[in-house]
Amino acid sequence: MSQLLHTMIRVGNLEHSIEFYTQVMGMTLLRKSENAQYEYTLAFVGFGEESTGQAVIELTYNWGTDSYDLGNGFGHLAIGEEDIYERCKAIEAAGGKITRAPGPVAGGTTEIAFVEDPDGYKIELIQKKAMSEGLG
């Protein structure tokens, strides 16, 4: 069976992004590699390895590029949480930016919140008890 392995996002400050995803979001730095010939560094972060069925995030740092135009095509990453209210408190306490406070989705009952990473990427937190019900 096929498996979603990772989502790649380009970052302007790799160390700052690794710190955010590990210290603020609670992920683990799974591996990091550098390619001097093509001047980029990759770091993979996640809640577990792809070999365990987890999808991870590939942080790509192209040397010398400190910012990107995020455009309007990319939406967000989504993470299931046992308690989005407590998770948002912990994220704020760790210096993270909550852009939408926890609560029901407009027109529905699923509880969500949004966080923003150092490069401006949005991360949706979804209350796990409602994940299988969809966002209605």
Measured distance CA(126)–CA(27) in Å, rounded: 16
Distance CA 92, CA 11 (A): 21
Locate all alpha helices (DSSP H) within the chain, ordered by sequence: 14-19, 84-93
Q: Which candidate, 91, 83, 88, 77, places its Cα nearest to that of 124?
A: 77
Strand stretches in 11-133, DSSP E? 28-35, 40-46, 56-62, 77-81, 97-104, 111-116, 122-127
Of the residues 19, 39, 124, 133, only one is catalytic, namely 124
Distance CA 66, CA 119 (A): 9
Amino acid code (one letter) for 83? D
Q: Verify whether residue 124 is a known catalytic residue.
A: yes
Could you give the residue numbers annotated as active site?
Answer: 124
